[in-house]
């Protein structure tokens, strides 16, 4: 299933964009000078910001391998961001040929890129929808065309909830998504925190971008998992979630928590 007819968006290159900053920190090429300058400002103030972006991406890859290795064959990736290889579908399909993936983002730049990249596959959907309206996400034809909510789903909310303010009720958003999932589904979530270091520079940079950064504590992030059972090692800094190799001293200051949890009801 794919989205057709997406028009090329008008790109504002005068303002940094969170998805493009992340792409730059990961070493991607889908970014502009303004995003590069914002990324350089982040790294100059805190070198661990680039390390954190890469550690977060590595967490995503490990989490996808975990859920697909456990038998899940459906993935709903909300706030997917710009395509970056290996993409979620590449990791998943490398393990099981019958996996279906729906990518969701509210940014037309992201969905246009994703649609251009993925238009050859009927097992992959692309939906332009806003996480702040979770019901619209769940009902979008780009999601419904590939995801069967009568079967377990891996819900990915990776580095997206920290762009929602408390006024936008992120707990309500997650609860609405949870209620749509059947037993046996999984939640994969990561979220920025200020628990380990002063991240005022990062907040200032994102305040100038398309979406502000809302840091939350371990206890606040853990509440997003209400109704789910955390799998070991629980909610930890992303480099410590089932690493493929021992974490290094460089990853000690990474200010991103991550976890995987299972819905058992």
For 128-186, what is each residue's pLDDT tens digit? 999 999 999 999 999 999 999 999 999 999 999 999 999 999 999 999 999 999 999 99
Q: pLDDT tens across 231-249, in order?
A: 999 999 999 999 998 888 7
Q: What are phi and psi of 51, to 5 degrees?
A: -60, -40
- In the chain, pLDDT over 90 holds for what percent of residues? 65
Instruction: Specify the range with the lowest mean pLDDT, choosing from 22-26, 96-100, 250-254.
Output: 250-254
Closest by CA to 176, choosing from 208, 134, 209, 217, is 134
Work out the pLDDT band at 3, boundaries 50, 70, 90: very low
pLDDT value, residue 120: 60
Could you give the maximum distance between any two Cα atoms of the chain, in Å?
Answer: 48
* Per-residue model confidence (pLDDT) at position 118: 67
- What is the model's pLDDT at position 5? 37
Q: 91 pLDDT exceeds 70?
A: yes
Name the 3-class secondary structure at 151: coil
Please state, in angstroms and rounded to a whole number, the distance separating the CA atoms of residues 34 and 24: 11
Q: What angle do CA 210, 211, 216 make, to 5 degrees?
A: 160
Enumerate the domain spans of the chain.
18-262
Single pTM value for the model: 0.91
pLDDT digits (tens, 9 = 90+) for 178-210: 999 999 999 999 999 999 988 888 888 888 877
* Per-residue confidence (pLDDT) for residue 119, from 0 to 100: 62
Summary mean pLDDT of the chain: 89
Q: What is the pLDDT of residue 139?
A: 97
Three-state secondary structure call for residue 105: strand
Q: How far apart are the first and last CA of the chain?
A: 30
> Where residue 113 falls among pLDDT bands split at 50, 70, 90?
confident
- The CA distance from 29 to 8, in Å, is 18
pLDDT at position 8 over 50: no
Superfamily of domain 18-262: Vaccinia Virus protein VP39 (3.40.50.150)
Q: What is the mean pLDDT of residues 65-75?
A: 98
Q: Using the predicted structure, report yes or no on whether residue 122 has a pLDDT greater than 90.
A: no
Pairing of strands 186-192, 236-237: unpaired
Does position 6 have pLDDT exceeding 50, yes or no? Answer: no
């Amino acid at each position: 299933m794919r989205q057709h007819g997406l028009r090329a968006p008008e790109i504002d290159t005068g303002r940094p964009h969170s998805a493009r900053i992340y792409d730059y920190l990961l070493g991607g090429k889908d970014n502009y000078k303004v995003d590069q300058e914002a990324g350089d400002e982040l790294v100059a103030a805190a070198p661990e910001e680039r390390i954190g972006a890469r550690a977060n991406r590595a967490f995503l890859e490990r989490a996808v391998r975990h859920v697909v290795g456990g038998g899940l064959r459906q993935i709903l990736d909300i706030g997917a961001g710009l395509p970056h290889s290996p993409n979620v579908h590449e990791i998943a399909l490398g393990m099981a040929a019958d996996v279906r993936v729906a990518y969701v983002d509210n940014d037309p730049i992201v969905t246009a890129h994703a649609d251009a990249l993925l238009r050859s596959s009927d097992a992959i959907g692309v939906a332009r929808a806003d996480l702040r309206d979770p019901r619209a996400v769940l009902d979008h034809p780009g999601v419904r065309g590939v995801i069967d909510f009568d079967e377990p789903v891996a819900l990915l909310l990776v580095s997206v909830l920290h762009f929602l303010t408390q006024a936008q009720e992120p707990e309500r958003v997650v609860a609405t998504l949870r209620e749509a999932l059947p037993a046996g589904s999984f939640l994969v979530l990561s979220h920025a925190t200020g628990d380990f270091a002063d991240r005022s520079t990062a907040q200032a940079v994102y305040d100038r971008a398309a979406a502000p950064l809302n840091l939350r504590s371990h206890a606040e992030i853990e509440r997003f998992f209400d109704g789910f059972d955390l799998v070991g090692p629980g909610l930890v800094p992303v480099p410590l979630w089932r690493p493929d190799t021992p974490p290094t001293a460089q990853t000690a200051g990474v200010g991103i928590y991550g976890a995987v949890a299972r819905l058992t009801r």
